[in-house]
Amino acid sequence: MYEILSIAIAITLATSVFICIRWRNLQCTGPTPVSLVAFSAILFTSGLDVGLIMFPLVEFPIYASEQPYSFTNPLAIEFGFWGFLVWAFYFLTTFYFCVVEPRVKLFELRPIRWINNAIIIATCAFTAFLFLTYAPSYIEGISAPQQYLLVGLIILAAVFSSTEIRYVKILSLLSSALFLLLALVMLVGSGASIQAYLATLAELSGYFENLHRFVSPVSEYHGWYLFWWFAWSIMIGQFVARFVSGLKTWQLLAALLVIPSIAIALWFSVLYYYFSNDLPVTGILRGAMVILGIVFVVNSLDSLIRLYTDNLSLGASKLGFKRYIIGNWLMIMALVLLYQFTPLKIEWVGLVVIGLYGAIYLLLFRRRNQLRGDTVLVDNRSAV
């Protein structure tokens, strides 16, 4: 299974490099372009969830003590699991849905369409399931019934937010602002000097010095993360591509690699300062992390719900508001319970996505003459 994963990562990264070289000056524009600020917020909050907020404090001790991660420091490992290189997956799919899919319309083919939306729904439910699983680690004293109630309310809020695209945009901007504010508050609360924080931030160099190690799984846990990112990749590209506003290919790659990674690096460095200096995260700070984590879950879910309901032409305007809310809530909650009480795993979803990648590559090869005849792609290639 991990051999398949490693091969898929290598092909994906090689394809991203090829595209950026071959069509580097091609302008990419989605159907509903937004400003760079709004695009950055949507990109960041749609591609991440509660794990970004809460996982590092749990995972730093593991990375500090276990042998597979001994080649660098825990901050570099954590960043490698969440930042920079893995966003090349999202670049590939964002470019595809901006430039290629409007010309070939492979995702309108019935089998691909249904598989794609099944993946979106399954991954959407997994995001809620993760919060259900880790809630006791975030919220001290929460009971099992309270966990299910909280997750049910989060799903309900996400379904409601998905009814209007403007809610998705507003929530993305709000959660990005709250994220930056929390990072600043926690940094000030740590008592770290600017020099001490910059020294902590500098430990991220351990990631870039060992970048080649993150191309394939360094452990089974890293493999789990990579399958998770594959599960996200097609749908995040499909969603984010809508909002791209005239970026050239190389600019799109730079935006996806750098913009989310800056925020991730700043946040992880704050948490790593707490970890490395044995500073407890309690009281108001922990409560603020939980609240922001919930906002991130809602933000992730509403993007995915909006995506699959649009793909299936099952929006609130067609189904009616009540049927839309109740139907989506019941479906996602049922899948959360399947993750909880059956062997269903995100790794399986990731494998299906890798298989879908293979099918798309094959179909594009068969339609290569159609792509060669595309005026936009040919003109851009000759310009380069």
Return the DSSP state at 265.
H
As a whole number, mean pLDDT of residues 22-36 equals 90
As a whole number, mean pLDDT of residues 156-183 equals 82
Highest-confidence range of 125-129, 130-134, 136-140, by mean pLDDT? 125-129
Two structure tokens written together for 58: 């749990």
Q: Is there a contact between 161 and 365 (Cβ–Cβ < 8 Å)?
A: no
What pLDDT, on a 0 to 100 scale, did the predictor assign at position 201? Answer: 95
pLDDT-derived band of residue 134, with 50, 70 and 90 as boundaries? confident
pLDDT-derived band of residue 63, with 50, 70 and 90 as boundaries? very high
Contacting residues for 202 by C-beta, under 8 A, at least 6 apart: none
Bridge partner list, 29: 245
Residue 145 and residue 42: Cα distance in Å, rounded?
32
**Crossing angle of the two packed helices 110-138 and 321-341, in degrees rounded to 10:** 70
What pLDDT, on a 0 to 100 scale, did the predictor assign at position 373? Answer: 61
Two structure tokens written together for 342: 């059956």
Q: Which residue has the tokens 């909650």?
A: 333
Helix (H, G, I), strand (E, B) or coil at 193: coil
Interval 345-365: pLDDT, tens: 899 999 999 999 999 999 998
Q: What values do phi and psi take at 246, rounded to 5?
A: 70, 20
Residue 251 and residue 342: Cα distance in Å, rounded?
43
Two structure tokens written together for 181: 């504010």
Hey, what's the torsion of the CAs at 149, 290, 49, 338, to 10 degrees? -30
Interval 225-265: pLDDT, tens: 999 999 989 888 988 898 898 899 999 999 999 988 988 99
What pLDDT, on a 0 to 100 scale, did the predictor assign at position 382? Answer: 44
* 217 pLDDT above the threshold of 80: yes
- For the chain, report the end-to-end CA distance as a whole number of angstroms: 39
Q: Is there a contact between 260 and 47 (Cβ–Cβ < 8 Å)?
A: yes
Which DSSP helix (H) or strand (E) runs through 37?
helix 36-46
As a whole number, mean pLDDT of residues 91-104 equals 93
Q: What values do phi and psi take at 139, rounded to 5?
A: -115, 105
Residue 67 and residue 216: Cα distance in Å, rounded?
17
b/e 282-307 (16+ beta carbons within 10 angstroms → b): eeebbebbbebbbbbbbbbbbbbbbb
The percent of residues above 90 in pLDDT, for the chain, comes to 54
pLDDT-derived band of residue 37, with 50, 70 and 90 as boundaries? confident
Interval 176-209: pLDDT, tens: 788 888 889 999 989 999 999 999 999 999 999 9
Question: Other C-beta atoms within 10 Å of 263: how many?
Answer: 20
Name the least confident of 3-17, 134-148, 215-229, 349-363: 134-148
What predicted TM-score, i.e. pTM, was given to this entire model?
A: 0.86
Helix (H, G, I), strand (E, B) or coil at 1: coil
What pLDDT, on a 0 to 100 scale, did the predictor assign at position 211? Answer: 93
Residue 50 and residue 58: Cα distance in Å, rounded?
13
The percent of residues above 70 in pLDDT, for the chain, comes to 94
Q: Please report the beta strands in the chain, taking only residues with DSSP state E, as ranges in sequence order.
A: 27-29, 245-248
* Domains observed in the chain: 2-383 (1.10.4160)
What pLDDT, on a 0 to 100 scale, did the predictor assign at position 288? Answer: 86
Return the DSSP state at 33.
-
Interval 86-95: pLDDT, tens: 898 899 999 9
Question: Other C-beta atoms within 10 Å of 157: how many?
Answer: 17
